Structure 1
């Protein structure tokens, strides 16, 4: 398994685990509550920060674990990265339309912010899954 593939696995795992923890904590407060009173911003910013930090730490750890492979990327890695980015773009495009609809309908900021975060999460997951499958089975 190449270093790039290991990074993709970590990226995908982080893109799954961190949002699940965030949404579990936040959505638990929604039933019967006025969403305008839910304090979601600190948890949202923490989730984003933890995801970025986890990916950086994992990337550094991967490079330290296999220093000879750390900077090696080939044409296949570049092609797989582009393939994942195209998928990510399409998911983001559809998700942003949903966020736009929420904004136009004057939904509460809670829903708009969480829909936008969910859009980024789904695009990251889609990209990661497509890239993992491409590494494992080809594309």
Structure 2
């Protein structure tokens, strides 16, 4: 497995675990209180920071575990990355319409922020999924 594929797997796992934990914590507060009272900004920024930090640390650990492969990319890695990023871009472009519509409808900031966060998560997961399939099955 190339270092780029390992990075993709790390991104996919972190991209699932961190948002699920965040959403479980924050959305569990929704039934008992109005969304205007839920303090979500700090936890959301923490989740984003933890996601970035975990990806960096796990990528470093993977590079230390197999130093010969670290940082090596070839044409296949670049093509897989390009295709995955294209898909992620299109998913983000479509998913970003939801928070835009919510903002136009003057919905609570809580829902707009979470729709945007979900759009980013879906784009990252779609990108990672395309890359993993490309690595595993080829073109």
TM-score strictly above 0.5: yes
Q: Give secondary structure in 1 for the equivalent of 2:96.
A: helix
Gaps of 5+ in 1: none
Matched, 1:104 2:94: no
- Compute the displacement of 1:33 (Å): 2.1
Instruction: Report which stretch shifted further, 49-58 or 62-71.
Output: 62-71
Task: Count the aligned residue pairs.
Answer: 139
Q: CA RMSD in A?
A: 0.8
Q: How does 1:21-40 map to 2 (within 5 A)?
A: 21-40=21-40
Does 1:74 find its partner at 2:74? yes
Moved more, 55-64 or 26-35: 26-35
What residue in structure 1 maps to residue 55 of structure 2?
A: 55
TM-score, normalised by the number of residues in structure 1: 0.97
Deviation at 1:62, TM superposition (A): 1.3
Cα offset, 1:82, TM superposition:
0.5
Report SS of the residue matched to 2:116.
helix
Cα offsets for 1:35-56 (capped at 9, x unmatched):
0000011110110000000010
| TM-score normalised by L of structure 2 | 0.97
Name stretches of at least 5 consecutive residues in structure 2 with no aligned partner.
Answer: none
- In 2, Cα distance between equivalents of 1:30 and 1:108: 13
Aligned to 1:94: 94
Partner residue, 1:122? 122
Deviation beyond 3 Å, 4+ runs, structure 1: none
Shift of 1:31: 1.5
Alpha-carbon deviation of 1:32? 4.5
| CA deviations over 1:21-75 (Å, ceiling 9, x no partner) | 0011111111242100000111101100000000100111111111111121000
| CA distance in 1: counterparts of 2:33 and 2:83, whole angstroms | 42
Distance 1:71 1:21 in 2: 31
